C-alpha cells in the first residue's frame, strides 16, 4: 500500500552503489572463480587415470542416521584394491581393505573383524559412504562417481585438495586432503586382509556401531 502525500525517500530507496565498491566486489568474485578453476586438462586426466594413490585426509560424513568426522589414511591401486585406516590414540581404530571383490576390516581394540563382499551397501554400512571401492577412488582423484548426485573438486596444482559430494541417498561427504601423491609403489601386502587372531566375526553395521557412527 502506498503512503499518502509526499514523503522523504527512505535510506534503502535512495541508496546507490558506489562505483569503487562495485569494482571491489567484481574483483573478489573474479578471484574466487580463479581459485576454483581446473588445472590443465592433461593434469586432470593424469590424476583421474592414476593407477595408484596414497593420502591423508579429514572426512566429514552427514547422512540421515549418521554424522561423523574423522581423519583417515587412504591408499588404492586400480582396479579394486583399497585400504582405509582410521587412526586412534593407541593405534588404528579401523583397518579396512578391499581386493578381488572382498571387504575385510578389523577393529583391533574391540577384538572384532568383518568379512563381506566389497559392495557399496557394505561400505555404506561400515563407514556411511554408499560407494563401491572404484567409485571411492574416483571421488578422491577428481572424477565424479556414478553414485553421486552432485560433486565438486577443488584442485591444487596436480591433485584435488578438497572434494565434496552428495550421494544418491542424500549423504554428504566432505573430504579435505592434506597430503596426497599418485604413482606410488604400493606393495600387494598393503591390501592383504588385516590379521586379528581370536577376534569375533561381526557385521558391517555392528562395526559402525563400535566406531560410534550411530
Q: What is the value of pTM for the model shown?
A: 0.80
Using the CB atoms, write b or e for 55-80: b if 16+ within 10 Å. Answer: bebebebebeeeebebebbbbbbeeb
- Residues 159-197: tens digit of each pLDDT: 999 999 999 999 999 999 999 999 999 999 999 999 999
Domains delineated in the chain = 41-202 (2.50.20.10)
What pLDDT does residue 158 have?
Answer: 96
What pLDDT does residue 36 have?
Answer: 52
Q: Which residues of the chain have pLDDT under 50?
A: 1-35, 213-214
Distance CA 22, CA 154 (A): 27
CB 106 within 8 A of CB 122: no
Amino acid at each position: 500500500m502506498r503512503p499518502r502525500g509526499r514523503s522523504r525517500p527512505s535510506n534503502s530507496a535512495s541508496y546507490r552503489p558506489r562505483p569503487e565498491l562495485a569494482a571491489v566486489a567484481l574483483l573478489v568474485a573474479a578471484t574466487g572463480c580463479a581459485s576454483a578453476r581446473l588445472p590443465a586438462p592433461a593434469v586432470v586426466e593424469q590424476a583421474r587415470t592414476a593407477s595408484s594413490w596414497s593420502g591423508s585426509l579429514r572426512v566429514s560424513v552427514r547422512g540421515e542416521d549418521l554424522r561423523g568426522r574423522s581423519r583417515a589414511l587412504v591408499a588404492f591401486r586400480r582396479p579394486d584394491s583399497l585400504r582405509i585406516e582410521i587412526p586412534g590414540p593407541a593405534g588404528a581404530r579401523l583397518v579396512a581393505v578391499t581386493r578381488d571383490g572382498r571387504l575385510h576390516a578389523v577393529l583391533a581394540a574391540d577384538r572384532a573383524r568383518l568379512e563381506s563382499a566389497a559392495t557399496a551397501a557394505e561400505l555404506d554400512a561400515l563407514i556411511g559412504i554408499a560407494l563401491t571401492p572404484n567409485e571411492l577412488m574416483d571421488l578422491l582423484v577428481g572424477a565424479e562417481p556414478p553414485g553421486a548426485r552432485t560433486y565438486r573438486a577443488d584442485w591444487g596444482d596436480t591433485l584435488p585438495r578438497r572434494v565434496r559430494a552428495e550421494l544418491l541417498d542424500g549423504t554428504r561427504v566432505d573430504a579435505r586432503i592434506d597430503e596426497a601423491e599418485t604413482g606410488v609403489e604400493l606393495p600387494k601386502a598393503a591390501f592383504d586382509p588385516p590379521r586379528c587372531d581370536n577376534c569375533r566375526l561381526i557385521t558391517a553395521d555392528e562395526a559402525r556401531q563400535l566406531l560410534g557412527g550411530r
